[in-house]
A and B are shown apart, each in its own frame.
Chain A
């Protein structure tokens, strides 16, 4: 009987967070700190002709101004300037600041002003004057779709069956284009770093989803061994993918610290975040679906094109997951990118999947209307228990149960399918549904578990906690399998001194790091049993390790009253601690199966027919993502996902003035995310799956999954309410007039 797993646990770091004791990157106190403020370009493409820092340098408190003219050489590898064939082997092609006079995107950093105070640096930044040789930027994806390319032309999309023929022959078909604008993550905490050098050793406090990624980036930037770099990131105020890839500011901050021989802090402004950490790319998609009159899908053709920067080939896997959702014998999907004069996109919560599923699940709704079949029924008709490409069975897939439970809770059977048929007073009511899909990924990850003879345990791994509750779930797993009270377990993360862990992304942290802690705890138990068996009185002499468990500070022979006090045992052996550093890797068993996490979303919207204002009045989300370790933080994740989906469906859009290639709403007054008044009833539920194939804990990804079906469900509900099919997000009031 589990003590902790599956039971609600409040965040172990909650107290520190609400009292301000939790330190975020820019909050660390470092003596003799100088402040950097970034100056950005006012053109979108071209070269800097001149940059005048005279006035800025004379401003009060200014220590120095870094520009491409005085940036130390040899500069970091200037990947953007290399031609593609030259930098094929350069893995980290991320944008680096101040390495040349080239302008690749508007609001690109062109200088860093260093001063004694933030205010002095910010003021002096306004005094830096640049002139440019300006070229016309190209930032509009939709006007350049014909320039789209595959990331790897030697691997063209592979069809399943014969989709073109099947599409032509089908009695019922729909075909439509869907567009999603650029969106930005907009976490509360702005990205920032503090860097200082001690000789050739570099220490950086950073906001990061993966300290080892930043360490590698800094090591290559400065041509120093990774071991010389320590990256510390204990708390992250939201990131959603914006702190996954190496952003330009940590290297810039570290370089500034090296130049002025002082610790330096640089924090993005909200505006600078819009070109400083990537974004969900602008995406154009076309979906063609064909079916028999029975509803059975016969062809799926799904193409996606997204914008990238001019110097990286960023392509979103928009069509990969949607392709696997339905039992359709003929399918062809592709994902391409177009170079634009923008900064490079980055993964943003449920990257690819939420965009692709918006298109596919809207198209399924359109097909349901064309067939006059209930949208839920259509999905059940095309349900598959095997991956339609490989034919492998899913290790678990409780999606059918999600559909059933969600429909029942929502009252789906009472839906009148006729658009504009349901009303609440003068408001039009719409009910829509969609499916969510995400992976059940596991990455190699390490953890160190130290059981101490004083009755406590210290557990560490260089993972991150960007908000999902990683501190809590790792504490919970360690407490469960070490048989300790959770209060006795201290878990630490976000530091390159800890064992290597992957970035916190892809919703694989609990599966990866949790498995490492679980397996390390098993190893500790083995060590304890071995110790016990050295003593004559051991009750485990003939026992197998599986016959034992750790419980309340004892190694217990299951099903008996026999046990050994482990701390007394350690003391008898003069062992102040037992340590296991362990790397968990995905099992071979996984390869025999298809794996994934799924969910069903049902939403109600109310639309004002006069003004076009849409409210999402009710959302029910049922999710099947393996074992739920901590229901409290898990529901929180899924509720957050629904809110994100509402923002994506109705509000979020980064607006670019293509004449200048400039983002015109880089702030939270013009870029809208949902506020409390937009959020009504949200109910999240889990259908638990018992799946030990995916990993020993049986957990799957949930953080991204929670938003995946929501935009489509809302768009489908808006169609049901109004009769208007909006295929261009966000669905703002003007589109419904």
Chain B
């Protein structure tokens, strides 16, 4: 680990200014990902601004939904009565992630910022355009069983590994970020993360120094019929091979609104508007769900070792939609 300057932030705008002033400064919250990456020399900040003591952990009802503080712990968020009742999909997604110990440390803002779990990204001896722009992509023709099948580029086939964000995409969340000018900017969650293109070193569209202060989720009618499905190599403490955040709102026997978001298939949570469109206005049948799943994976371009994700993605969408209909809680 490289030596770094450490300071404790007193208020959000000041923190934003401190980080903004130093191109190699980083915010530190729960540290569950950043500190690991620093030990591995993948992240080498010259300055770390500890925001963990800022007063940004509230979870409260707002006039049109809920506001969840960026520094609320994952565990506290998943178990909060407002979240459990109104946004069970978010609860399920958070509880599917990591381990109880990690969720007790990890914050919501940090969760959005977590970096890929691509093995080549973690190994400084290997090429990785995300870690070392221009060095090449080790995974493209290497071990890529856990990599992207959608939206990837020649430069990067890494996936966004998280669970929480997949639910936030389904729930039309907005990310509230504080700038150096002391004002907040609202970023629709689907515009938060980005595809790799030729700048895979950029995971998201935050400007350097912008600090996430809250996640806002509007009211919706998905609570009764939503489900988070996570398929993984072991039952806990493993990143998804494929995950699905599914949510449905019914009018009579027909689907009024639908959300289908795939996780661990792309550089960002992959909301499939095409899959959702297939569902709208249709009755609930396996055929409808299968058609939706086909639409979601239509453009998939698997790599050498992850072809299974196409079939697994389809099956997982069908299963998640079925479970959403039956109102199961993961």
Scoring B residues 113 to 157 as 1 if CB is less than 8 Å from chain A, else 0, what string do you get?
Answer: 000010110110110000000000010011101000000000000
* Interface contact A674-B2, CB-CB below 8 Å: no
**Among candidates A610, A662, A676, A732, residue contacting B316 with C-beta atoms closer than 8 Å:** A610
With the chains together, A635 CA to B118 CA distance in Å? 39
Cα A678 to Cα B234 in complex, Å, equals: 7
In the bound complex, what is the Cα–Cα distance between A660 and B235 (angstroms)?
31
B7 within 8 A of A: no
Question: Which among B138, B237, B315 is the interface contact of A610 at CB below 8 angstroms?
Answer: B315
Residues of A contacting B145 in the complex (Cβ-Cβ under 8 angstroms): 734
Given contacts A657-B143, A734-B145, A737-B311, contact A126 B41 (CB under 8 A): yes
Mask for A124-153, Cβ within 8 A of B = 1, else 0?
Answer: 001000000000000000000000000000
Given A123-B1, A612-B312, A670-B117, check contact A651 B126 (CB 8 Å). Answer: no
Distance in angstroms between the alpha carbons of A46 and B101 in the assembled complex: 43
A732 to B241, CA, bound (A): 10
Tell me the smallest distance from the CB of A312 to a CB of chain B, in Å.
24
Tell me whether B255 is interfacial, beta carbon within 8 Å.
no
Write out, one digit per residue, whether chain A residues 606-631 have a CB within 8 A of any chain B CB (1) or not (0): 00001111010000000000000000
- Expressed in whole angstroms, the Cα–Cα distance for A507 and B65 within the complex equals 62
CA A659 to CA B143, docked complex, whole Å: 10
**Are A733 and B236 touching (Cβ within 8 A)?**
no
A655 in contact (CB, < 8 A): yes
A672 at the interface (CB under 8 A from B): yes
A122 at the interface (CB under 8 A from B): yes
Tell yes or no: A664 within 8 A of B by CB: yes
A675 located at the interface, meaning its Cβ lies under 8 Å from any Cβ of chain B in the complex = yes
In the complex, the answer to whether A677 meets B236 with C-beta atoms within 8 Å is yes
**Minimum Cβ distance to chain A for residue B99 (Å):** 8
Compute how far the CA of A664 lies from the CA of B117 in the bound complex, rounded to whole angstroms.
12
B105 to chain A, nearest CB (A): 15
- Interchain CB contact under 8 A, A611 and B319: yes
- Contacts A657-B138, A672-B238, A674-B234 given: A611-B312 contact, CB under 8 Å? yes
- Cβ-defined contact, B312 with A733, below 8 A: yes
For the complex formed, measure the closest distance between the CB of B232 and the CB atoms of chain A, giving whole angstroms: 8
Determine which of A122, A615, A675 lies in contact with B237 in the assembled complex, contact meaning CB atoms within 8 Å: A675
Chain A residue nearest to B242 (CB atoms) is A611
Query: Which of these, A42, A651, A674, A677, contacts B125 with CB under 8 Å?
Result: A42
A641-670 near B? 1/0 per residue, CB < 8 Å: 000000000110001010110101101011
Cβ contact within 8 Å between A670 and B119 = yes
Query: Is B287 among interface residues, defined by CB-CB distance under 8 A?
Result: no
Interface presence of A119 (CB below 8 A): yes
Would you give the shortest CB distance from B41 to chain A, in whole angstroms? 5
> With A and B bound together, what is the CA distance between A692 and B125 in angstroms?
56
Q: Give the contacting residue for B315; candidates A659, A662, A678, A737; CB below 8 A.
A: A737
Question: Within the assembled complex, what's the spacing in Å between the Cα atoms of A670 and B315?
Answer: 24
Query: Could you tell me if B1 and A662 are in contact, using CB atoms closer than 8 angstroms?
Result: no
The 8 A CB mask of A107-123 against B (1 = contact, 0 = none) is 00000000000010011
The size class of the interface chain B forms with chain A is 20 to 34
CB-defined contacts of A670 to chain B, threshold 8 Å: 117, 119, 122
Tell me, in angstroms, the Cα distance from A465 to B168 when the chains sit together. Answer: 50
Q: Are B119 and A664 in contact, CB atoms less than 8 angstroms apart?
A: yes
Cα A119 to Cα B145 with chains together (Å) = 34
| Dominant SS among interface residues on chain A | loop
| Interchain CB contact (< 8 A) of A615 among B3, B235, B241, B318 | B235
- B residues less than 8 Å from A123 (CB atoms): 1-3
Within B1-57, the residues touching A (CB, 8 Å) are: 1-3, 41
Contact: A733 with B233, CB < 8 Å?
yes
Name which residue of chain A comes closest to B236, CB basis. Answer: A677
Pick the contact of B312: A119, A659, A660, A734 (CB < 8 A): A734
Given contacts A611-B316, A672-B238, contact A733 B125 (CB under 8 A): no
Interface string of A342-383 (1 = CB under 8 A from B): 000000000000000000000000000000000000000000
CB distance from A401 to the nearest CB of B (A): 34
- Chain A, 174-229, CB within 8 A of any chain B CB: none
Contacts of B312 in A (CB 8 A): 611-612, 733-734, 737
Whether B119 contacts A734 by the Cβ 8 Å rule is no
Give A670 to B237 CA distance when docked, in angstroms.
10
Q: Check A610/B233 contact, CB under 8 A, given A733-B312, A734-B312, A737-B308.
A: no
Answer whether residue B231 sits at the interface, using C-beta atoms and an 8 A cutoff. yes
Assembly CA distance A674 to B1 (angstroms): 30
Q: How far, in angstroms, from A664 to B119 measured CA to CA in the complex?
A: 6
B316 — nearest CB in chain A belongs to which residue?
A: A611
Which residues, 284 to 315 on B, are CB-close (under 8 Å) to A?
A: 308, 311-312, 315
Could you say which residues of chain A place their CB within 8 Å of the CB of B99? 675
Which residues of the other chain, A, contact B319 by a CB distance below 8 angstroms? Answer: 610-611
Complex contacts, B1 vs chain A, CB 8 Å: 119, 122-123
Minimum CB–CB distance from A123 to chain B (whole Å) comes to 6
Interface centre among A611, A615, A659 (most CB of B within 10 A): A611
B120 and chain A: residue at smallest CB distance: A664
List residues of chain B with CB within 8 A of the CB of A610.
315-316, 318-319
Whether A664 and B123, one on each chain, are in contact in the complex, defined by CB atoms closer than 8 angstroms, is yes
Docked-complex contact B235 and A655, CB < 8 angstroms: no
Q: What is the CA–CA distance of A651 and B122 in the complex, to the nearest angstrom?
A: 21
| Chain B residues positioned under 8 Å from A674 (CB to CB) | 234
B4 to chain A, nearest CB (A): 11
- Judge whether B143 and A664 touch: CB under 8 Å: yes
CB-defined contacts of A665 to chain B, threshold 8 Å: 119
Residues 215-242 of B, flagged 1 when their CB comes within 8 A of A and 0 if not, give 0000000000000000111111111010
Q: How many Å lie between the Cα of A288 and that of B1 in the bound state?
A: 53
B143 touches A732 (CB 8 A): no
What residues on A are CB-neighbors of B141 within 8 Å?
659
- Which B residues, 33 to 90, have Cβ-Cβ distances below 8 Å to chain A? 41
Minimum CB–CB distance from A82 to chain B (whole Å) comes to 29
With both chains docked as a complex, state the minimum distance between the C-beta of A488 and any C-beta of chain B, in angstroms. Answer: 41
B308 and A734 form a contact (CB under 8 A): yes
- The residue in chain A whose Cβ has the minimal distance to the Cβ of B238 is A672
Q: Is the CB of B234 within 8 A of A677?
A: yes
Q: Contact between A651 and B233 (Cβ–Cβ < 8 Å)?
A: yes
Give, as a whole number of angstroms, the nearest-CB distance from B6 to chain A. Answer: 14
Among residues of B, the one whose C-beta sits closest to the C-beta of A106 is B125
**Contact between A677 and B231 (Cβ–Cβ < 8 Å)?**
no
Residue of A nearest to B305 (CB): A734
Give Cα A20–Cα B275 distance, bound, in whole angstroms.
55
Give min CB distance, A672 to chain B, whole Å: 5
Q: Return B287 CB to nearest CB of chain A, in Å.
A: 16
Rounded to whole angstroms, the CA-CA distance of A615 and B236 in the bound complex is 12
| Cα separation A579 to B41 with both chains bound (whole Å) | 56
Q: How far is the CA of A670 from the CA of B138 in the complex (A)?
A: 16
Complex interface: chain A residues within 8 A of B236 (CB): 675-678
Whole-angstrom CA separation of A732 from B232 in the bound complex:
9
Interface-central residue, B125, B236, B319, by most chain A CB under 10 Å: B125
In Å, the complex CA distance between A611 and B293 comes to: 14
CB-based nearest A residue for B141: A659
The residue in chain B whose Cβ has the minimal distance to the Cβ of A678 is B235
- Chain B residues with a Cβ under 8 A of chain A: 1-3, 41, 99, 117, 119-120, 122-123, 125-126, 138, 141-143, 145, 231-239, 241, 308, 311-312, 315-316, 318-319
Apart from A657-B142, A664-B120, A674-B234, 11 more pairs, CB < 8 Å:
A123-B2, A123-B3, A611-B312, A612-B231, A655-B143, A664-B119, A670-B122, A675-B99, A733-B241, A734-B308, A737-B308
Could you list 5 A-B pairs, sorted by A, with CB under 8 Å? Answer: A119-B1, A126-B2, A613-B231, A675-B236, A734-B308
| Interchain residue pairs A-B with the least CB separation, the first 4 | A42-B125, A677-B235, A734-B308, A677-B236
A residues with a Cβ closer than 8 A to B are 42, 119, 122-123, 126, 610-613, 615, 650-651, 655, 657, 659-660, 662, 664-665, 667, 669-670, 672, 674-678, 732-734, 737
